[in-house]
């Protein structure tokens, strides 16, 4: 009993439990096999999606030459980039105040308000911000998307930065203050480099969330400001086509290109901390 309480109990890997390995394999097959099938059929030369005729890249060229698709990509990239920058700047400011500020009044309430988009159903958030825009008279579709995505992405940028600040000791910052460094210099030379992994993770998460968002974009967007998920949804209503498979495959490839650097940085930081 004492051995168990002191942490001496033998720990078993989950795969040692009977049948757990098989369940895990079946789960991943169920999860990823449809994606692999979609990627494979994006190279199908036949216009009928489910009938394989031969290998071809023509649907990728067709997708890249689609003016509607390219316009949606430009809108999504513009909205995601601007919203990520704004959300990350706001998240940095909020995290610094809540983590390093002394006797901040309403700190718990402020943190709750920041994380509110995570707790509310997205449809409620989208309708609420649409009503706000109508009351303020905001008509520009691109501006509405940028503001809505910024509000929605703030908590996704805030949480990694806040976690990084909470796990970081204040010795270096206090040493900079003891050496008469002004607050801006201490932040630029000490705090900012130390929280940069959290900022990078929060920014990449915000960018991916903004690029992937459908509900808010579909409700808030106006004429001439159609994002990529909304455009893809309009194609799905017309039926699945090889061009849609090619578009989806390109999105997966771009997502992997964005996620892989984050994973490599996280692994490098983990190895350095061991």
In terms of Cβ atoms closer than 10 Å to its own Cβ (0-12, 13-18, 19+), residue 114 is buried
Phi, psi for 46 (deg, rounded to 5) = -80, 140
The model's pTM is 0.78
Domain 60-273, CATH homologous superfamily name and number? MetI-like (1.10.3720.10)
Q: What pLDDT shows up at residue 1?
A: 47
d(CA 230, CA 243): 16
Q: Boundaries of CATH 1.10.3720.10 in the chain?
A: 60-273
Check residue 155 and give its pLDDT.
92
pLDDT digits (tens, 9 = 90+) for 199-230: 888 898 898 889 888 898 888 887 678 888 88
CA 254 from chain centre, in angstroms, equals 13
């Amino acid at each position: 009993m004492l051995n168990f309480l002191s942490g001496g109990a033998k720990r078993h890997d989950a795969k040692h439990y009977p049948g757990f390995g098989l369940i895990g394999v079946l789960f991943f097959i169920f999860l990823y096999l449809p994606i692999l099938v979609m990627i494979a059929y994006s190279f199908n030369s036949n216009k009928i999606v489910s009938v394989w005729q031969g290998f071809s890249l023509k649907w990728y060229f067709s997708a890249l030459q689609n003016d509607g698709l390219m316009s949606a990509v430009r809108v999504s990239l513009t909205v995601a980039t601007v919203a990520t920058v704004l959300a990350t700047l706001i998240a940095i400011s909020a995290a610094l105040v809540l983590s390093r500020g002394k006797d901040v009044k309403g700190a718990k309430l402020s943190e709750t308000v920041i994380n509110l988009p995570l707790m509310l159903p997205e449809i409620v958030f989208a309708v609420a911000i649409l009503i706000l825009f109508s009351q303020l008279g905001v008509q520009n579709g691109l501006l509405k998307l940028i503001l809505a995505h910024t509000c929605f992405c703030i908590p996704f940028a805030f949480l990694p930065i806040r976690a990084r600040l909470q796990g970081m000791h204040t010795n270096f910052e206090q040493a900079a203050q003891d050496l008469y460094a002004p607050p801006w210099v201490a932040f630029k030379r000490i705090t900012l480099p130390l929280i940069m992994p959290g900022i990078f993770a929060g920014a990449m998460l915000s960018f991916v969330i903004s690029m992937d968002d459908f509900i808010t974009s579909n409700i808030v967007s106006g004429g001439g400001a159609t994002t990529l998920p909304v455009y893809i949804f309009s194609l799905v209503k017309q039926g699945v086509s090889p061009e849609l498979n090619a578009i989806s495959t390109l999105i997966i490839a771009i997502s992997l290109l964005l996620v892989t650097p984050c994973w490599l940085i996280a692994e490098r930081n983990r190895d350095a901390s061991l």
